[in-house]
Amino acid sequence: MTDKFLSDLREPARPAFVEALKQRLDAIEYEQAERGVTRPLWLRLRPAFAGVAALAAVAVALSVPTVRASARSLLEIFRVKRFAAVPVDMSRLERLHNQELDLKTLISDNLQVLKDPGAPLAVADVAAAAGKVGFEIAQLAELPQDCALSEVRVTGQGSFKATLDTDRIEQLASALGVTGVEIPRQLNGASVAIQTSPTVMLRYTRGKDDFRLFQALSPQVALPEGIDVRQLGTIGLQLAGMSAEEAQLFASKVDWRTTLLVPVPAMGGDFRDVAVGDAQGLLVTVRPQRRAGGDAQRPMPRWHSVLLWSKGERLFALQGPGSGMELLEMANEIG
C-alpha cells in the first residue's frame, strides 16, 4: 500500500526561519562561551591561558622554581611569533569530563578577570570594526568565486590574572593519570598576568561553506621573575599525554617565549607546517569521526581545517571546510 500521500506535510524550512533560529543559537553559543560552558576543556581555561594556548599555559602554571614574591616583578613577556602543534590524548580530557572535574578550579581558585573582553559584537562593516579595535584589519584581496563577506564581529581587550595552587595542580595530574611529575612547591601563590588584544572575525560565506578569518595582536603573558619556562613546558606536555622523554625532546626544540602551542587531537587530527607568504604557518585538519551507533546512511562528516600564522605584530587564524588547500590560497590573498 502506497503511503506517498503521507509525505505531503513535509516541507523545507522557510529561509527566514532558518536564519532567525540560527542567530538565536549563535547567541546561545556566544553566551555559553562567555561562561565557559561549551568550550573544549583547554579553552575553558582561557582567562588564565589566553595567548599561549592551553598546554603552554598549563606549563606556565606548573613550574616556577624560585618564585620570590608572587607578582613582584613581571619580567618575562611572551609574544607569539610562531605556532607548534601538540598532539593531545583526548581520552585524558574525557576522563576529566567524566569525573566532572573542572580544570580551571583544579589549577587555580583565584582567577581574576580584570577586564572582560565582552561577547563578540556584530558591527556593520570592516571600517567599523577597525574603529573599535584600533588596528588595521587585513582582508582577502580577492575572494573565491561565489564567496562574500557576510559578517563582521569584534571583541574587546581583556586582562586576566591567575594565582596558582600547587595542590590543585597535583590533583589535576592525578586525575589525568600522569605520574612522576614533580610540581615545585615554590609555585604556590605565583601569579600569571595575561593581556589580550581586541579580536576581529570576518566571516565569508559561499553556499553552505563558511570561512572565518580571525585576527588580533599578539597577547602578552607576564610571569614572575626566575621562571623556568622550558621546565614548565615539559610538565605541561606530559599532562597532554607525552611521555617524559617525548616531552623533554619537544620542549628542547621550542622557543617557549614566542611559540603558541596548539592542541591537536592525537586521533583524528593532522597538522603540518606550511608557508604563508614569508611566514611559517601551522595547518591543522580534523575529520570528525562517525560514531558507533550513528546513522550509517548519513554522509561522512567533512574535513575542517584551521590555518594559523603571524605577520608582524598580528596573529591570524583562518578556518573553513576542506583539507586546507583552499585556506592556504585564501591566506596568501590576505593583504
Q: Which of residues 221-260 bind another protein (CB under 8 A)?
A: none
Q: How far is the CB of 199 from another protein (least distance, A)?
A: 5
Largest alpha-carbon pair distance within the chain?
Answer: 83
Q: Sheet harboring 121-122: ordered strands across?
A: 121-122, 148-155, 199-206, 209-217, 314-321, 304-311, 279-286, 269-276
In the complex, the smallest distance separating the C-beta of residue 12 from another protein, rounded to whole angstroms, is 6
Counting contacts by CB under 8 A, is residue 46 touching another protein?
Answer: yes
Instruction: Give the total of residues touching another protein (CB under 8 A).
Output: 79
Fill in the per-residue mask, 151 to 180: x = in contact with another protein (CB under 8 A), - = not in contact.
--x-x--x----------------------
Residue 81 found at the interface with another protein (CB under 8 A): no
If the CB atoms of residues 32 and 66 are measured against another protein, the closer one turns out to be: 32
Residue from 19, 23, 37, 313 that binds another protein (CB under 8 A)?
A: 37
Interaction between residue 108 and another protein (CB under 8 A)? no
**Residue 3 within binding range of another protein, rule CB under 8 A:** yes
> Which parts of 49-78 interact with another protein (CB under 8 A)?
49-51, 53
Residue 109 to residue 191: CA distance in whole angstroms: 12
Residue 32 in contact with another protein, rule: CB under 8 A: yes
Instruction: State yes or no: residue 100 binds another protein (CB under 8 A).
Output: no
Give the CA distances from residue 238 to residues 16, 50, 63, 91, 96, in Å, rounded to whole numbers and listed in that order: 49, 20, 13, 14, 15
Residue 136, Cβ density class (10 Å: 0-12 exposed, 13-18 middle, ≥19 buried): exposed
What is the rounded radius of gyration, in angstroms, for the C-alpha atoms of the chain? 22
The verdict on 322 binding another protein (CB under 8 A) reads: no
Name the minimum Å distance from CB 51 to another protein. Answer: 5
Q: Crossing angle of helices 53-62/229-240, nearest 10°?
A: 120
